[in-house]
Structure 1
Protein backbone atom coordinates (compact mmCIF):
# COMPACT_ATOMS: atom_id res chain seq x y z
CA UNK A 1 0.00 0.00 0.00
CA UNK A 2 1.24 3.51 -0.84
CA UNK A 3 2.30 5.87 1.94
CA UNK A 4 1.46 9.57 1.77
CA UNK A 5 4.61 11.66 1.34
CA UNK A 6 3.98 14.52 3.76
CA UNK A 7 7.61 15.64 3.58
CA UNK A 8 7.95 16.12 -0.16
CA UNK A 9 7.39 19.90 0.00
CA UNK A 10 9.32 20.39 3.27
CA UNK A 11 6.24 21.86 4.97
CA UNK A 12 4.53 18.63 5.98
CA UNK A 13 1.47 19.43 3.86
CA UNK A 14 -0.16 17.75 0.89
CA UNK A 15 -2.92 19.19 -1.31
CA UNK A 16 -6.36 17.65 -0.78
CA UNK A 17 -8.76 17.97 -3.70
CA UNK A 18 -12.35 17.70 -2.47
CA UNK A 19 -14.90 16.12 -4.84
CA UNK A 20 -18.60 15.40 -4.37
CA UNK A 21 -18.95 11.61 -4.43
CA UNK A 22 -22.30 11.77 -6.26
CA UNK A 23 -22.01 14.65 -8.73
CA UNK A 24 -18.22 14.32 -9.26
CA UNK A 25 -17.97 18.13 -9.00
CA UNK A 26 -14.70 19.46 -7.55
CA UNK A 27 -15.75 21.52 -4.53
CA UNK A 28 -12.56 22.97 -3.10
CA UNK A 29 -8.86 22.52 -2.41
CA UNK A 30 -7.31 22.36 1.05
CA UNK A 31 -4.13 21.13 2.67
CA UNK A 32 -3.55 18.31 5.12
CA UNK A 33 -0.74 17.38 7.38
CA UNK A 34 -0.51 13.92 8.89
CA UNK A 35 -2.57 14.91 11.94
CA UNK A 36 -5.37 16.32 9.75
CA UNK A 37 -5.37 13.14 7.68
CA UNK A 38 -5.60 10.93 10.77
CA UNK A 39 -8.42 13.03 12.25
CA UNK A 40 -10.30 12.90 8.91
CA UNK A 41 -10.07 9.11 8.81
CA UNK A 42 -11.07 8.74 12.47
CA UNK A 43 -14.00 11.19 12.53
CA UNK A 44 -15.19 10.73 8.91
CA UNK A 45 -15.37 14.53 8.66
CA UNK A 46 -12.77 16.24 6.47
CA UNK A 47 -10.19 18.14 8.52
CA UNK A 48 -7.50 20.37 7.02
CA UNK A 49 -4.44 22.09 8.31
CA UNK A 50 -5.22 25.81 8.13
CA UNK A 51 -2.15 27.70 6.96
CA UNK A 52 -3.82 30.94 8.10
CA UNK A 53 -4.83 29.78 11.56
CA UNK A 54 -1.79 27.50 11.94
CA UNK A 55 -3.93 24.69 13.37
CA UNK A 56 -6.20 21.79 12.44
CA UNK A 57 -9.53 22.95 11.06
CA UNK A 58 -12.53 20.71 10.47
CA UNK A 59 -14.57 22.06 7.58
CA UNK A 60 -17.95 23.04 9.01
CA UNK A 61 -16.83 23.46 12.62
CA UNK A 62 -18.30 26.98 12.61
CA UNK A 63 -20.75 26.96 9.67
CA UNK A 64 -22.13 23.43 10.07
CA UNK A 65 -21.27 22.78 6.41
CA UNK A 66 -19.34 19.58 7.04
CA UNK A 67 -17.72 17.38 4.41
CA UNK A 68 -18.64 13.77 5.24
CA UNK A 69 -15.81 11.48 4.18
CA UNK A 70 -16.65 8.74 1.68
CA UNK A 71 -13.32 7.79 0.08
CA UNK A 72 -9.66 8.87 -0.10
CA UNK A 73 -7.37 8.23 -3.06
CA UNK A 74 -3.65 8.92 -3.30
CA UNK A 75 -2.11 10.06 -6.59
CA UNK A 76 0.77 8.38 -8.43
CA UNK A 77 3.43 10.65 -6.85
CA UNK A 78 2.05 9.97 -3.36
CA UNK A 79 1.79 13.68 -2.57
CA UNK A 80 -1.79 14.67 -3.48
CA UNK A 81 -5.09 13.38 -2.12
CA UNK A 82 -8.44 13.09 -3.88
CA UNK A 83 -11.08 13.08 -1.17
CA UNK A 84 -14.62 12.12 -2.13
CA UNK A 85 -17.27 13.52 0.17
CA UNK A 86 -20.95 13.96 0.81
CA UNK A 87 -21.17 17.72 1.47
CA UNK A 88 -23.56 19.13 4.06
CA UNK A 89 -24.28 22.57 2.61
CA UNK A 90 -22.05 24.77 0.45
CA UNK A 91 -18.31 24.02 0.41
CA UNK A 92 -17.06 27.59 0.00
CA UNK A 93 -16.83 30.01 2.92
CA UNK A 94 -18.51 32.59 0.66
CA UNK A 95 -21.66 30.45 0.58
CA UNK A 96 -21.36 29.02 -2.92
CA UNK A 97 -21.48 25.30 -3.70
CA UNK A 98 -17.84 25.33 -4.81
CA UNK A 99 -14.86 27.64 -4.41
CA UNK A 100 -15.22 28.43 -8.12
CA UNK A 101 -18.80 29.67 -7.66
CA UNK A 102 -20.19 26.77 -9.71
CA UNK A 103 -23.37 24.90 -8.90
CA UNK A 104 -22.83 21.41 -7.54
CA UNK A 105 -24.87 19.53 -10.12
CA UNK A 106 -24.38 16.26 -11.92
CA UNK A 107 -23.19 16.70 -15.48
CA UNK A 108 -23.67 14.22 -18.27
CA UNK A 109 -21.12 15.56 -20.73
CA UNK A 110 -22.47 15.97 -24.25
CA UNK A 111 -25.95 14.85 -23.15
CA UNK A 112 -26.15 17.89 -20.87
CA UNK A 113 -25.19 20.11 -23.80
CA UNK A 114 -27.88 18.45 -25.89
CA UNK A 115 -30.43 19.00 -23.12
CA UNK A 116 -29.54 22.71 -23.11
CA UNK A 117 -30.17 22.91 -26.87
CA UNK A 118 -33.50 21.11 -26.50
CA UNK A 119 -34.44 23.47 -23.68
CA UNK A 120 -33.68 26.52 -25.81
CA UNK A 121 -35.85 25.11 -28.63
CA UNK A 122 -38.67 24.51 -26.14
CA UNK A 123 -38.42 28.12 -24.97
CA UNK A 124 -38.42 29.37 -28.59
CA UNK A 125 -40.98 27.17 -30.35
CA UNK A 126 -41.50 29.71 -33.15
CA UNK A 127 -38.16 28.88 -34.75
CA UNK A 128 -39.36 27.68 -38.16
CA UNK A 129 -36.02 26.04 -39.04
CA UNK A 130 -35.78 23.90 -35.91
CA UNK A 131 -37.01 20.31 -35.99
CA UNK A 132 -37.13 20.21 -32.19
CA UNK A 133 -39.15 23.44 -32.00
CA UNK A 134 -41.58 21.97 -34.54
CA UNK A 135 -42.10 18.94 -32.30
CA UNK A 136 -42.83 21.16 -29.31
CA UNK A 137 -45.34 23.10 -31.42
CA UNK A 138 -47.11 19.84 -32.33
CA UNK A 139 -47.45 18.87 -28.67
CA UNK A 140 -46.94 15.93 -26.35
CA UNK A 141 -48.86 13.39 -28.44
CA UNK A 142 -46.60 13.89 -31.47
CA UNK A 143 -43.45 13.78 -29.32
CA UNK A 144 -44.59 10.58 -27.58
CA UNK A 145 -45.46 9.06 -30.97
CA UNK A 146 -41.95 9.81 -32.25
CA UNK A 147 -40.42 8.08 -29.21
CA UNK A 148 -42.59 5.04 -29.91
CA UNK A 149 -41.58 4.97 -33.57
CA UNK A 150 -37.89 5.26 -32.73
CA UNK A 151 -38.21 2.53 -30.08
CA UNK A 152 -39.74 0.13 -32.61
CA UNK A 153 -37.03 0.95 -35.17
CA UNK A 154 -34.33 0.37 -32.52
CA UNK A 155 -35.81 -3.05 -31.67
CA UNK A 156 -35.95 -4.00 -35.36
CA UNK A 157 -32.30 -3.02 -35.88
CA UNK A 158 -31.28 -4.86 -32.68
CA UNK A 159 -32.42 -8.09 -34.32
CA UNK A 160 -30.33 -7.38 -37.42
CA UNK A 161 -26.53 -7.50 -37.76
CA UNK A 162 -25.99 -3.95 -38.98
CA UNK A 163 -24.35 -2.25 -36.00
CA UNK A 164 -24.26 1.16 -37.70
CA UNK A 165 -28.03 1.17 -38.23
CA UNK A 166 -28.61 -0.06 -34.68
CA UNK A 167 -26.48 2.73 -33.21
CA UNK A 168 -28.16 5.36 -35.38
CA UNK A 169 -31.63 4.22 -34.35
CA UNK A 170 -30.50 4.10 -30.72
CA UNK A 171 -29.27 7.69 -31.02
CA UNK A 172 -32.62 8.74 -32.54
CA UNK A 173 -34.46 7.03 -29.69
CA UNK A 174 -32.37 8.71 -27.00
CA UNK A 175 -32.66 12.11 -28.70
CA UNK A 176 -36.44 11.93 -28.93
CA UNK A 177 -36.67 10.59 -25.37
CA UNK A 178 -34.76 13.65 -24.13
CA UNK A 179 -37.32 15.81 -25.94
CA UNK A 180 -40.17 13.87 -24.35
CA UNK A 181 -38.66 14.32 -20.90
CA UNK A 182 -38.59 18.10 -21.34
CA UNK A 183 -42.08 18.13 -22.79
CA UNK A 184 -43.16 16.53 -19.50
CA UNK A 185 -41.11 19.03 -17.46
CA UNK A 186 -38.23 16.71 -16.58
CA UNK A 187 -34.58 16.20 -17.45
CA UNK A 188 -32.10 13.34 -17.51
CA UNK A 189 -31.09 14.05 -13.91
CA UNK A 190 -34.61 13.17 -12.75
CA UNK A 191 -34.32 9.73 -14.32
CA UNK A 192 -30.83 9.22 -12.90
CA UNK A 193 -32.23 10.04 -9.45
CA UNK A 194 -34.92 7.35 -9.79
CA UNK A 195 -32.34 4.80 -10.96
CA UNK A 196 -30.00 5.71 -8.08
CA UNK A 197 -32.82 5.26 -5.57
CA UNK A 198 -33.53 1.81 -7.01
CA UNK A 199 -29.85 0.82 -6.92
Structure 2
Protein backbone atom coordinates (compact mmCIF):
# COMPACT_ATOMS: atom_id res chain seq x y z
CA UNK A 1 0.00 0.00 0.00
CA UNK A 2 1.74 3.15 -1.19
CA UNK A 3 2.06 5.83 1.48
CA UNK A 4 4.67 7.76 -0.46
CA UNK A 5 2.40 9.05 -3.24
CA UNK A 6 2.96 12.68 -4.16
CA UNK A 7 -0.07 14.60 -2.83
CA UNK A 8 -0.72 18.26 -3.56
CA UNK A 9 -2.94 20.43 -1.40
CA UNK A 10 -4.09 23.93 -0.56
CA UNK A 11 -4.35 25.41 2.89
CA UNK A 12 -5.32 28.61 4.65
CA UNK A 13 -5.37 29.89 8.21
CA UNK A 14 -3.60 28.62 11.26
CA UNK A 15 -4.31 27.37 14.73
CA UNK A 16 -4.61 24.22 16.79
CA UNK A 17 -8.00 23.35 15.29
CA UNK A 18 -7.75 21.79 11.83
CA UNK A 19 -10.47 21.23 9.24
CA UNK A 20 -9.64 18.78 6.44
CA UNK A 21 -11.67 19.10 3.23
CA UNK A 22 -12.21 15.99 1.09
CA UNK A 23 -13.47 16.74 -2.42
CA UNK A 24 -15.89 14.76 -4.56
CA UNK A 25 -15.21 12.48 -7.49
CA UNK A 26 -13.96 14.33 -10.60
CA UNK A 27 -13.10 17.35 -8.41
CA UNK A 28 -9.95 18.47 -6.63
CA UNK A 29 -8.95 20.97 -3.94
CA UNK A 30 -9.96 23.90 -6.17
CA UNK A 31 -13.63 23.20 -5.44
CA UNK A 32 -13.01 24.33 -1.84
CA UNK A 33 -11.88 27.91 -2.62
CA UNK A 34 -14.87 29.52 -0.82
CA UNK A 35 -14.28 27.32 2.24
CA UNK A 36 -10.53 27.95 2.35
CA UNK A 37 -11.32 31.66 2.46
CA UNK A 38 -14.48 31.58 4.54
CA UNK A 39 -13.61 29.04 7.24
CA UNK A 40 -9.95 29.79 7.96
CA UNK A 41 -10.22 32.81 10.28
CA UNK A 42 -9.67 30.82 13.49
CA UNK A 43 -8.39 27.49 12.27
CA UNK A 44 -6.11 25.76 9.80
CA UNK A 45 -8.06 24.54 6.77
CA UNK A 46 -6.47 21.91 4.50
CA UNK A 47 -7.88 20.73 1.17
CA UNK A 48 -6.02 17.86 -0.44
CA UNK A 49 -6.02 16.60 -4.01
CA UNK A 50 -6.78 12.93 -3.44
CA UNK A 51 -4.38 10.57 -5.24
CA UNK A 52 -5.49 10.60 -8.87
CA UNK A 53 -6.96 14.13 -8.70
CA UNK A 54 -5.59 17.60 -9.32
CA UNK A 55 -1.82 17.74 -9.04
CA UNK A 56 -1.51 14.55 -6.99
CA UNK A 57 0.14 11.42 -8.30
CA UNK A 58 -2.09 8.73 -9.79
CA UNK A 59 -2.41 5.70 -7.51
CA UNK A 60 -1.72 2.19 -8.73
CA UNK A 61 -4.62 -0.04 -9.67
CA UNK A 62 -6.49 -1.40 -7.86
CA UNK A 63 -6.88 1.36 -5.27
CA UNK A 64 -9.75 1.07 -2.82
CA UNK A 65 -11.35 3.45 -0.33
CA UNK A 66 -9.26 1.73 2.35
CA UNK A 67 -6.14 2.56 0.32
CA UNK A 68 -7.27 6.19 -0.04
CA UNK A 69 -7.86 6.28 3.72
CA UNK A 70 -4.34 5.06 4.43
CA UNK A 71 -2.99 7.58 1.91
CA UNK A 72 -4.95 10.32 3.71
CA UNK A 73 -3.49 9.25 7.07
CA UNK A 74 0.03 9.30 5.60
CA UNK A 75 -0.61 12.73 4.08
CA UNK A 76 -1.82 14.08 7.43
CA UNK A 77 1.30 12.68 9.09
CA UNK A 78 3.47 14.49 6.52
CA UNK A 79 1.81 17.86 7.14
CA UNK A 80 1.77 17.46 10.91
CA UNK A 81 -1.95 16.93 11.55
CA UNK A 82 -2.65 14.38 14.27
CA UNK A 83 -6.37 15.04 14.80
CA UNK A 84 -8.89 17.10 12.82
CA UNK A 85 -12.45 17.79 11.81
CA UNK A 86 -13.24 16.22 8.42
CA UNK A 87 -15.66 17.59 5.83
CA UNK A 88 -16.38 15.22 2.97
CA UNK A 89 -18.30 16.21 -0.17
CA UNK A 90 -20.00 13.48 -2.22
CA UNK A 91 -17.30 10.81 -2.85
CA UNK A 92 -15.18 12.62 -0.24
CA UNK A 93 -17.96 11.95 2.26
CA UNK A 94 -17.80 8.24 1.53
CA UNK A 95 -14.02 8.41 2.01
CA UNK A 96 -14.49 10.33 5.28
CA UNK A 97 -16.71 7.57 6.63
CA UNK A 98 -14.18 4.85 5.77
CA UNK A 99 -11.36 6.96 7.23
CA UNK A 100 -13.42 7.44 10.41
CA UNK A 101 -13.84 3.67 10.74
CA UNK A 102 -10.12 3.05 10.34
CA UNK A 103 -8.76 6.08 12.20
CA UNK A 104 -11.47 7.10 14.67
CA UNK A 105 -8.89 8.48 17.11
CA UNK A 106 -7.86 11.08 14.51
CA UNK A 107 -11.39 12.43 14.00
CA UNK A 108 -12.61 15.35 16.14
CA UNK A 109 -15.78 15.87 14.12
CA UNK A 110 -17.35 14.72 10.87
CA UNK A 111 -19.37 16.74 8.36
CA UNK A 112 -20.93 14.82 5.49
CA UNK A 113 -22.10 17.00 2.60
CA UNK A 114 -24.19 15.74 -0.31
CA UNK A 115 -23.10 12.16 0.27
CA UNK A 116 -24.17 8.78 1.53
CA UNK A 117 -22.51 5.62 2.75
CA UNK A 118 -22.16 4.13 -0.72
CA UNK A 119 -24.63 1.57 -1.96
CA UNK A 120 -23.17 -1.20 0.19
CA UNK A 121 -23.23 0.95 3.30
CA UNK A 122 -26.70 2.38 2.70
CA UNK A 123 -28.73 -0.33 1.00
CA UNK A 124 -29.41 -4.09 1.27
CA UNK A 125 -27.33 -6.34 -1.01
CA UNK A 126 -30.21 -7.23 -3.33
CA UNK A 127 -31.10 -3.56 -3.79
CA UNK A 128 -27.46 -2.85 -4.70
CA UNK A 129 -27.49 -5.62 -7.28
CA UNK A 130 -30.71 -4.34 -8.86
CA UNK A 131 -29.44 -0.74 -8.91
CA UNK A 132 -26.28 -1.80 -10.71
CA UNK A 133 -28.39 -3.54 -13.37
CA UNK A 134 -30.53 -0.38 -13.71
CA UNK A 135 -27.44 1.87 -13.89
CA UNK A 136 -26.02 -0.14 -16.72
CA UNK A 137 -29.36 -0.06 -18.56
CA UNK A 138 -29.91 3.67 -17.91
CA UNK A 139 -26.38 4.81 -18.76
CA UNK A 140 -27.40 5.70 -22.32
CA UNK A 141 -30.38 7.87 -21.31
CA UNK A 142 -30.24 11.63 -21.95
CA UNK A 143 -29.10 13.58 -18.84
CA UNK A 144 -32.57 14.96 -18.03
CA UNK A 145 -34.16 11.52 -18.21
CA UNK A 146 -31.38 10.02 -16.08
CA UNK A 147 -31.82 12.73 -13.42
CA UNK A 148 -35.62 12.38 -13.39
CA UNK A 149 -35.33 8.61 -12.96
CA UNK A 150 -32.63 8.51 -10.27
CA UNK A 151 -32.86 11.70 -8.18
CA UNK A 152 -36.02 10.82 -6.20
CA UNK A 153 -34.41 7.58 -4.98
CA UNK A 154 -31.24 9.25 -3.74
CA UNK A 155 -32.90 11.12 -0.81
CA UNK A 156 -31.36 9.08 2.05
CA UNK A 157 -30.10 11.94 4.24
CA UNK A 158 -32.93 11.37 6.72
CA UNK A 159 -31.95 7.71 7.06
CA UNK A 160 -28.30 8.59 7.71
CA UNK A 161 -29.32 11.29 10.17
CA UNK A 162 -31.37 8.78 12.15
CA UNK A 163 -28.43 6.33 12.30
CA UNK A 164 -25.76 8.74 13.56
CA UNK A 165 -25.95 9.67 17.27
CA UNK A 166 -26.12 13.42 17.98
CA UNK A 167 -26.19 14.24 14.25
CA UNK A 168 -27.66 17.43 12.81
CA UNK A 169 -29.32 17.41 9.40
CA UNK A 170 -29.18 20.67 7.45
CA UNK A 171 -30.88 21.16 4.09
CA UNK A 172 -29.86 24.20 2.03
CA UNK A 173 -32.95 25.04 0.00
CA UNK A 174 -31.13 26.64 -2.94
CA UNK A 175 -28.43 23.97 -3.32
CA UNK A 176 -28.14 20.82 -5.36
CA UNK A 177 -25.46 18.14 -5.14
CA UNK A 178 -22.51 20.53 -4.81
CA UNK A 179 -23.74 22.79 -2.02
CA UNK A 180 -20.32 24.19 -1.00
CA UNK A 181 -19.93 25.66 -4.48
CA UNK A 182 -23.59 26.48 -5.15
CA UNK A 183 -24.36 28.24 -1.84
CA UNK A 184 -20.95 28.92 -0.28
CA UNK A 185 -22.04 31.56 2.23
CA UNK A 186 -24.93 29.52 3.64
CA UNK A 187 -22.80 26.36 3.56
CA UNK A 188 -19.91 28.04 5.38
CA UNK A 189 -22.26 29.47 8.00
CA UNK A 190 -23.57 25.97 8.80
CA UNK A 191 -20.07 24.48 8.94
CA UNK A 192 -18.88 27.30 11.19
CA UNK A 193 -21.86 26.78 13.50
CA UNK A 194 -21.07 23.05 13.72
CA UNK A 195 -17.39 23.64 14.46
CA UNK A 196 -18.26 26.13 17.20
CA UNK A 197 -20.56 23.72 19.10
TM class, shorter-length: under 0.3
Greater C-alpha radius of gyration: 1
Higher helix fraction (1 or 2): 2
Higher percent of residues as strand:
1
Q: Normalising by the residue count of structure 1, what TM-score does the alignment of the two structures yield?
A: 0.26
Higher relative contact order (CA 8 A, sep 6+): 2
